[in-house]
Amino acid sequence: MQFEWIMIPYSLLTLFIVVNYGMLLTALMQKIGARVGRRHGIPIWQNYFDLIKNFGIRSSITHGTMFYLGPVFRLTGGIGLLLFVPTIYASEMFSNLSFAGDLILALYFVFFGTLGMALGAAESGHPHATIGISRGLSQVTTAELPFALAVFAVALQYQTLSITDIVAAQQGGITNWTAFTNPFAVAAAMLSFLGSMMRPPFDVVLAPQEIPIGPPTEYHSSYMALMQTNRAIMPIAKIVLYMNLFFGGAASWPVFCLKVFLIYLFSVFVGVVFPRFQVEQSVRWFLIWAVPLGILAILVV
C-alpha cells in the first residue's frame, strides 16, 4: 500500500471523531468516578467550555522555547500514535497511515510526549521542577516496561511487527484474541495500562488534590488548551493500540466505541477502588507484579 493524498482528509476525519469522543468520554469517566463518591461531577460538556476558554486566552509570560514546546511535543505524541495505528480494521478510510508504521514506532510515540513534557518542565524555572521530572519519569518508565515486554511477546507470537497483521491474526472469533491466546501478555499490558493512564492509584505525579504546582498550574492559555486536547486524544490512542494488539481490533465505529469505553472503564474502576500510591510504592508494584508477567509471556511464546 502506498501513500495517497486522499488519506489526509480521512485521517483528519478520524482525528476529529477521536477528539470529540475523547472529550465526551473523559468527562463521562470523571462523572462515573464522582458518582461512586456520591458527588455529581462535572457536566458532560465541561471539557468543551474549558477548551474554548483557554484557546481564547493570551499570555505575555515567557519561560523559554522548550517550555512552550512541551505541550506541542505532548500533542504530537498523541496524534502520531493515533495516525500510525489502524482505527477501524479492513477500512481504507480509517486505516490511517498504519501501513507505514509498526509496533516499534508506536512505542516511540507512546513515550515521546512524556519526554517532551519533561524537557518543558525543566525550563519552567520552578525549584521543584526537577523533583517532579524524576518522579514522573521513574513511574512512567517502570509502567512502560511490562507493556514493552507484552508487545515483544505479541510480536514473537504472530511473527510480525505490523499492527494490521496482528489484528488480522485475531479475526474469526473472540477465542482468537490475544486475550485468550496469550493471557500473560495481556495481564502485563493491562497492569501497565493503569500506570500509563495517570489515574489513581498512580496519579501521585500530578496529585491534583494536594500539589498546587505542575503542568495544570505552570501552563496557561493556549498552551493549556493544547494539553487538554492531548488529554482527549492520547488515552484513546493508547486504548486503540491495546484494542488492536489484545482485543481483536474493531471492524466498525460502534464496536470501536464499545471496546474503547470498556477498556477505559477498567482504569476508572481500579482508580475508585484503590488508594493512591507513592512513587516508590508504584515503582515497586510494577516491578513485583507486572514485569514478571511480561517475562512469563515471552517465555510462554
Instruction: Spell out the alpha helix ranges (H) of the chain.
Output: 7-36, 46-55, 65-83, 103-122, 129-158, 163-169, 178-181, 183-196, 215-218, 221-246, 253-273, 279-285, 291-300
Distance CA 211, CA 208 (A): 6
The confidence score (pLDDT) of residue 166 equals: 95
Alpha-carbon distances, residue 40 vs 33, 92, 208, 241 (angstroms): 9, 42, 18, 32
pLDDT means per 10 residues, the chain with 301 residues, are: 72 93 94 88 91 84 79 90 91 83 88 81 74 82 92 94 93 93 95 88 71 63 86 94 95 95 94 85 92 94 85
> Helix or strand or coil: residue 172?
coil
> Helix or strand or coil: residue 98?
helix
Instruction: Examine residue 59 and state whether it is found in any structural domain, yes or no.
Output: yes
Distance CA 156, CA 26 (A): 34
Distance CA 184, CA 182 (A): 6
**What phi, psi does 210 have (nearest 5°)?**
-115, -40
Distance CA 80, CA 168 (A): 22
Burial class (CB in 10 A: 0-12, 13-18, 19+), 98: buried
Distance CA 75, CA 234 (A): 8
> Position 84: which residue type?
F
Instruction: Examine residue 193 and state whether it is found in any structural domain, yes or no.
Output: no
Q: What is the pTM of this model?
A: 0.92
> pLDDT (tens digit, 9 = 90+) per residue, 164-184?
999 999 998 899 999 999 999
The confidence score (pLDDT) of residue 71 equals: 86
The confidence score (pLDDT) of residue 48 equals: 94
Angle between helices 103-122 and 129-158 (to 10 degrees): 180
Instruction: Note whether 142 and 285 are within 8 A (CB).
Output: no
Q: How many domains does the chain have?
A: 1
The confidence score (pLDDT) of residue 78 equals: 92
Instruction: Examine residue 1 and state whether it is found in any structural domain, yes or no.
Output: no
Expressed as residue numbers, the domain containing 119 is: 7-140+161-169+203-273
Grid cell at residue 114: 512524556
Distance CA 7, CA 94 (A): 9
